[in-house]
């Protein structure tokens, strides 16, 4: 099978090779009729062009890399969908990588994305300390914006949820339902989001006069199984809390399962809340009260900040100071909590 060349496209469209090149690269304006004809012929012939040469001319590849801790977590799947949609609108491609909760895998993905000359990288670091070096090495070469989770690397922006505000919102709601004692189920303190949520829970519980039951902050992981196991321990005790606050919806769904297995009514006997507003939360029984993260706005802000940094890099301009955007979530009240009295 013969490879279709630029000269073939130019000949079939009745234009010079230089005109065909200007149309397909977008380097200089060409009359609309001529441009339409060249694009039509290129499509008909199946011309793909030389992507590497085009990238070198433009000093861009029109691709963005993204590394998430685990694509199996519905929250990160939702973030990826929002980022991909934002990129699609700008005609760019997303190269997605799953770190599988491993800093070593994450580092390998970041290195590979840099080697592929992506225009920028969006990363949600999987570990608060073990991810620092790899994110720092990537950020020294290409623009990097951190999403949801973050590590302390200079020259990188961050966009995520205001975790302190999030816990304030859910605890205020529980106070309004006459809850007086609470517990908090979360993952091990290995990433910024988990640490911020634990701090937000403790500080806001104290400020609102809520009692945290003994050993009431339970560390596990972001999974249904972890929530179920932690809840079984809490529910077997004599000082069962009025409400169990969960650091994500998967943990909360595990809590609902444990309550159902023990015949404990939700929200009659214990109230349950989550964070993230994943789709499953609307279909469990009872439906889950949670906090909806502003993923669409997060994606838009990430693309804006990344675009600024890519522009600085292409034009050789000095980058601006790092930006941190903590966005407020939205409380979604469903059946797993009682009505505000």
Span 232-286, pLDDT tens digits: 999 998 899 999 999 999 999 999 999 999 999 999 999 999 999 999 999 999 9
In percent, the amount of the chain with pLDDT more than 90 equals 74
Query: What DSSP line would sit under 185-198, residue for residue?
Result: EEE-S-SHHHHHHH
Q: Is the pLDDT of residue 201 over 90?
A: yes
pLDDT at 56: 40
Q: What share of the chain is helix, strand, coil (3-state, %, to 5)?
A: 45, 20, 35
pLDDT at 9: 86
- Tell me the mean pLDDT in the region 305-326: 85
Does the pTM exceed 0.75?
Answer: yes
Lowest mean pLDDT among 48-52, 70-74, 129-133, 161-165: 48-52
In percent, the amount of the chain with pLDDT more than 70 equals 94
Give the pLDDT confidence of 28-67 residue by residue, as tens digits.
Answer: 567 778 888 888 888 788 776 655 444 444 557 889 999 9
Tokens, residue 46: 């199946």
337 CB-near residues (< 8 Å, 6+ apart): 173, 174, 177, 243, 267, 271, 272, 273, 289
pLDDT at 32: 77
Taking each helix axis as running N to C, give the angle between helix 224-235 and helix 249-262, from 0 to 180 degrees, rounded to the nearest 10: 40
- Cα-flanking dihedrals φ and ψ of residue 44, to 5°? -65, -40
Q: What is the mean pLDDT of the chain?
A: 91
Cα angle 202-203-204, degrees, rounded to a multiple of 5: 95
Q: Could you give the count of Cα atoms lying within 13 Å of 45 in the half-sphere of its Cβ? A: 21
Nearest to 252 by CA among 269, 232, 272, 278: 272
Nearest to 330 by CA among 295, 303, 299: 295
The b/e string for 28-55 (b: 16+ C-beta within 10 A; e otherwise) is eebeeebbebbbebbeeeebeeeeeebe
Cβ-in-10-Å burial (0-12, 13-18, 19+) of 104 comes to: exposed
pLDDT at 28: 59
pLDDT at 164: 97
pLDDT at 3: 66
Tokens, residue 309: 């940094």
Residue ranges and CATH numbers for the domains of the chain are 6-58 (1.10.260.40), 63-161+296-328 (3.40.50.2300), 163-293 (3.40.50.2300)
Nearest to 335 by CA among 263, 274, 246: 274
C-alpha 147/C-alpha 106 separation (Å) is 14
């Amino acid at each position: 099978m013969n490879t279709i060349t630029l000269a073939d496209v130019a000949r079939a469209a009745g234009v010079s090779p230089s005109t065909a090149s200007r149309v397909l690269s977008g380097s200089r304006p060409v009359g609309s009729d001529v441009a339409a004809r060249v694009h039509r012929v290129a499509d008909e012939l199946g011309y793909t062009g030389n992507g590497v040469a085009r990238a070198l001319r433009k000093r861009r590849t029109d691709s963005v890399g993204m590394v998430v801790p685990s694509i199996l977590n519905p929250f990160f799947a939702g973030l990826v969908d929002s980022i991909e949609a934002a990129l699609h609108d700008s005609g760019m491609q997303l190269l997605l990588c799953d770190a599988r909760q491993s800093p070593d895998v994450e580092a390998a993905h970041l290195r590979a994305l840099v080697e592929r000359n992506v225009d920028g990288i969006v990363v949600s670091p999987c570990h608060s300390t073990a991810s620092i070096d790899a994110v720092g090495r990537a950020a020294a070469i290409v623009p990097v914006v951190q999403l949801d989770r973050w590590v302390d690397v200079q020259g990188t922006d961050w966009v995520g949820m205001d975790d302190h505000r999030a816990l304030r919102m859910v605890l205020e709601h529980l106070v309004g339902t006459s809850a007086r004692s609470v517990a908090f189920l979360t993952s091990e303190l290995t990433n910024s989001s988990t640490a911020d949520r634990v701090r937000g829970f403790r500080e806001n519980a104290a400020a609102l006069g809520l009692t945290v039951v003994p050993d009431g902050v339970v560390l596990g992981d972001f999974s249904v199984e972890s929530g179920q196991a932690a809840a079984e321990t809490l529910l077997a005790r004599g000082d069962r809390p009025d409400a169990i606050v969960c650091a994500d919806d998967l943990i909360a769904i595990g809590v609902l399962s444990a309550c159902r297995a023990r015949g404990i009514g939700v929200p009659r006997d214990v109230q349950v809340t989550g964070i993230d507003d994943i789709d499953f939360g609307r279909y469990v029984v009872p439906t889950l009260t949670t906090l909806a993260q502003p993923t669409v706005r997060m994606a838009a802000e990430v693309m804006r900040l990344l675009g600024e940094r890519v522009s600085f890099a292409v034009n050789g301009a000095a980058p601006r100071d790092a930006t941190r955007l903590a966005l407020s979530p939205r409380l979604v009240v469903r059946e797993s909590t009682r009505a505000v009295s």
